[in-house]
Chain A
């Protein structure tokens, strides 16, 4: 099913929460709607799933507008769309009956068999008779996902499906999301404020900020050439780099263009040349005026290009000075951001244009495959 929204506006009590939203969901793909909390992701989801009405604008399903559909036609359409909310509500009954709910509404056959099957997939078969109100948040999220996919929707909306979950639940939900898309060609729309998640899953990415889509495109377009406002919004996440895995003197490293960064060896990236993304938290970077010896595997010389005071905490942006010169083309800019205190900045006398050493441990670098 093709879903398209045109000129969607939404206000609550005079406050505008969505503004001029124009999007087309990529069919059969994983779509990621990224944006910080409060950007309007859930509101947009409710409009796209016909749970709520836009103040103005139109949602098109397979090219036909949805505003003037009769309740029966709307119900038919809704029954082809699945939705898992951020904090899913569990009906006050057993896990099994929660999952069976939608099938019962539709008067389906073989309900018990279908329910058992999907509970096996989310690894909750063993607690199918337990009350759904006693579940942990990870289990509840899995029940909610099971409850939606047992209905075999053509499109499924997942609102922050992996926020604050235990690792097992996260893995199960991730695997299932990928499987639904690959094996059953289900269109997936996932809202997240997690950049890495969007990077890993998103084939088409929409960036929502303060009620507006500020960028949309393929994941590569959005991540490689982010608009400035997008970058500003997400700089809090820290340092995000694109690079490739290289093997140098038997050690696994990341080639970021200007510098090569040591990382904790990961068997997932045995192949040299694999494109990856890497993140590094700004608070994990140590600045020094002179080189010093430590157990940290990565230490580079960089030039300070920006110093920003953010309420007593100083954000220092540095451009590394290449420590090898074998590349023929001009290497891409890879600014590193570090956080230091105001006192450190004053004691070290940091100024824009100065050169400093920045040091971080290999274990602080988080590496994610860029290829799906």
Chain B
């Protein structure tokens, strides 16, 4: 009990004193996960628009494949990304292994099926009505797309936040490809895992508090947005 309390008080002083190490870790976590969601959505949104609005042979097959990809365990994605970017892998020359970009690639790969699958469902739900209404009022192809994105704005933001929450809490995969190098690729989850194993709880608890706060804030935002959408 004493152990926990002293770790807690030291952790709080680390947060309040804006400890450099703590905050560089937090910043890197946010940078990696936000970048991963950003690149993922650049790919997911056009793809889900295409799959939701156009009927073409193979459409259903692609959607089913994306849905199944949601179930791939993170550690398997970590392994595949590792093999691709390791020195002897096909992308080895880029020297990405154990850099923040390796973590971005792995997290983006993990979150893309989730964002795409949820976006397809959302866009399909409102898609046909929005499309018909927009077209009947004289919208061109692009105008239909922008109208649809505008109409689906809040559910899409919710989907991005869900994706962000999924990857910022990811530990094993991130450690495999990032390497948890102090000052370079150490993020909140990997730092907590390491410090706990070392028995050095102060930093772990401080980061844990921040990670939990992030999770709470995300939840509050989601609930507020879903309430507003009603």
Contacts and interface: CB of A to CB of B under 8 A. Distances in A.
Interface of A: 46, 49, 51, 71, 75, 78-79, 82-83, 85, 88-89, 91-92, 101-102, 105-106, 147-148, 151
Contacts of A101: 134, 137, 147
B171 to A, nearest CB: 38
B200 to A, nearest CB: 51
A79 B139 CA distance: 8
Which label, helix, strand, loop or mixed, suits the secondary structure of the B interface? helix
A105 B136 contact: no
B132 A85 contact: yes
A89 B137 CA distance: 12
Interface string B111-155: 000000000000000000110111111111101000100110000
A324 to B, nearest CB: 54
Given A91-B147, A91-B151, A92-B151, A85 B140 contact: no
Interface in B53-107: none
A89 B150 CA distance: 14
Contact of A78 (B138, B147, B150, B151): B138
Nearest to A82: B136
Contacts of A91: 130, 133, 147, 150-151
Interface of B: 129-130, 132-141, 143, 147, 150-151
Given A85-B132, A89-B130, A102 B151 contact: no
B158 to A, nearest CB: 14
30 contacts: A46-B132, A49-B136, A51-B135, A51-B136, A71-B140, A71-B141, A75-B138, A75-B140, A78-B135, A78-B136, A79-B138, A83-B136, A85-B132, A85-B136, A88-B133, A89-B129, A89-B130, A91-B133, A91-B147, A91-B151, A92-B151, A101-B134, A101-B147, A102-B138, A105-B137, A105-B139, A147-B137, A148-B136, A151-B137, A151-B138
Nearest to B143: A105
For the complex of A and B, list the 8 residue pairs with the smallest distance between their C-beta atoms, beginning with the closest.
A102-B137, A83-B136, A79-B138, A89-B129, A89-B133, A102-B138, A105-B139, A105-B138
Nearest to A76: B138
A294 to B, nearest CB: 52
Nearest to A87: B129
A51 B132 contact: yes
Nearest to B147: A91
Contacts of A106: 138
Contacts of A151: 137-138
Contacts of B151: 91-92
Contact of A89 (B132, B139, B143): B132
A102 B133 CA distance: 10
A79 B137 CA distance: 7
A55 to B, nearest CB: 14
Contacts of A75: 138, 140
Contacts of A79: 138
A262 to B, nearest CB: 47
A289 B33 CA distance: 86
Contacts of A102: 137-138
Contacts of B134: 101
A85 B129 CA distance: 10
Contacts of B139: 105
A151 B138 CA distance: 9
Contacts of B150: 91
A31 B78 CA distance: 65
Contacts of A51: 132, 135-136
A85 B137 CA distance: 11
Nearest to A72: B140
A123 B147 CA distance: 27
Contacts of B137: 101-102, 105, 147-148, 151
Contacts of B140: 71, 75, 105
A118 to B, nearest CB: 13
B86 to A, nearest CB: 47
Nearest to A80: B138
Contacts of B143: 105
B166 to A, nearest CB: 27
Contacts of B141: 71
Nearest to A153: B138
Of A51, A85, A105, the most chain B CB neighbours within 10 A belong to: A105
Contacts of A78: 135-136, 138
A86 to B, nearest CB: 11
A91 B138 CA distance: 15
Nearest to A88: B133
A105 B147 CA distance: 10
Contacts of B136: 49, 51, 78, 82-83, 85, 148
Contacts of B135: 51, 78
Nearest to B138: A79
Nearest to A133: B230
A142 to B, nearest CB: 16
Contacts of B138: 75, 78-79, 102, 105-106, 151
A134 to B, nearest CB: 11
A151 B132 CA distance: 16
B101 to A, nearest CB: 38
Contacts of A82: 136
